[in-house]
Structure 1
Amino acid sequence: MIILGSGSDYKIAEKSVKVLEEMKVPYDIKVASAHRTHGRVKDIMTNYTDNVEVFIAIAGLAAHLPGVIASYTTKPVIAVPCTGKIGGLDALLSSTEMQLGTPVATMGIDRGENAAWLACQIIACNDDNMKEALKNKRESYNQKMENDEKDVVEKIAGEYYTKSERVEHERPTVKKELVLPKNTKVLIISGNYSNMEIVHKITQTLETLGIGSNYKVVSATRTPDKLEKYMKEADDQVDLYIAVSSLSTVLSGAMVSHTTKPVIGVPCTTKRLGIDSLLSMVEMPPGVPTATMGIDAGENAALYVARILSIYDEDIRNSLIKYMKTLHRNIYYE
């Protein structure tokens, strides 16, 4: 279900619709403001969502709509912040920086198409046909890039343009194989050991929810071949991934490039308050979304995993509902 905070955001919703139509995913469209028509949002979430698996919330300015939607459901909510007076940064931060217990996967500003692609990835967790369709779509990008390259050369190449000759070379061999325990549903990858406190929050929350996980420390810049091999081997063993990264967050982008399964990203605090990590993680190009959480929000990343898996797993759904009830008695919960 696509919910717009204002009819003026229809062009962003149209991007989502085009993807859903291409992938043959049934959808509904609603318009309701979290501030001006809160009762309408509540009515939609209470009485119109029995067959909905994923929500896409599109809003700008003080974009509280995704959070309000998340407060009324345990299903996954995807936020698309819209451009506004300060370039959409207000809406972006309103969407990502959610309280514990109401995780929202945020896309880049105005990236309605990526919200739909993430929705398809979530649906594919229990749909082999969708899984195959996503793989075929990803493979089609190679031909698109080849065509674009030819067009660019025709437009701008000059007298000294020289086409590079292909000379085959072997990449460094990574001998170690990645074998995960059979109950592993989530692979957590951190770019370095400095983020282990966030990783611990994730694994602890997943364990509480009864969701099997495993974590590895792999650098996307220092050991790219190792990361690629691990992702390839893990893809048949897990349902989804969590990337924990700081600074330029190359890790999350690299992980997304190696899989069509959902990748949840947790940007980590740096000297720039984590804003650099957040922006480089969330602003992904069309077709390759990262489900970005708030800065250092490891627990919410784990809870978002539970929201995805609970669509198809009743035991996880019950564990999630039980966990949510305990938050109301937690002194750290607002």
Structure 2
Amino acid sequence: MSHILQIKDLKVSFQSGKKLLPAIDGISFDLKEGEILGIVGESGSGKSVTSLAAMGLIPSPPGKMEKGQIIFEGKDLRHNTEKEWRKVRGNQISMIFQEPMTSLNPLFTIGNQLMEAIKLHTNLSKREALVRGIELLRLVGIPRAEGILKEYPHQLSGGMRQRIMIAMAMACNPKVLIADEPTTALDVTIQAQILALMKDLNKKTNTSIILITHDLGVVAEICERVIVMYAGQIVEQGDVRTILKNPRHPYTKGLLKSVPELSGKKERLYSIPGTVPMPGTIQHGCRFAPRCSEAFSRCQEEEPKLRKMENDKHEVRCFLYTVKEGSDKHVGVTS
């Protein structure tokens, strides 16, 4: 399976006064054709900045892409002009944002906005664009598609609006779809429908999907691989089953512990103490160390690198594991 998108050693910083603060720092990952990849982490971990960078949407100023590559189908997009980005954006790489009400214009009908998305990137006539619009609405499971085209965003429910956003994102059969928290504002039953829809679209159209979320339940539901981010770095990555069954990084373990159990046996929900540090505040050592119950002296002084585990596809950024002669050995601390 070939890679459609590769992010290599990407660093994005934002100007704050006279300082440049790193929002993401040395991120590298691949997205395969037809794959659903999850990116997980708390607010402030750099998930959304990663997705905006992949779309060429980092506002400059204050944002600055300091180093790295964004390779799409073998071509590095990092130095694209705005005109070149516009050809890629929406056409080959598309994005769904978390709040459809802010992405849809309240003054125009759904039909107007959907037709604009189609005509912007294709040479279809008005009639053909209308037929394509109805086809897209049916693809995302919207009944009475012709009637919906005449309605305004405020007349639709949150779930319907999110389906419209997905239809607009799929207008040009993109090869990569980035979904930034697409189910956050929706109730649980609608959330399940939207996830099933995205899984279905992935099967029907072979579109690769990057799903950005803070919810590990969502990842378990539809993703094949997962990347766990913390304070602008990848702290763990691997296939979903490995990471959910055998998490190695203390942060991933904490995220999994904080998921409520259906049995309801726990008196209180577990939460990781403290908060994600502000960009640039931790100069030495592991960025998770101040919140980690397993930290020891080395964690305060040195920054850990991503290391391969027994399973080659599983990588962890933690000093609890060091790799010597191909076998894992602990550094005096139990996990």
TM-score, normalised to structure 1, is 0.27
Structure with greater proportional helix content:
1
Structure of higher CA gyration radius: 2
Structure with greater proportional strand content:
2
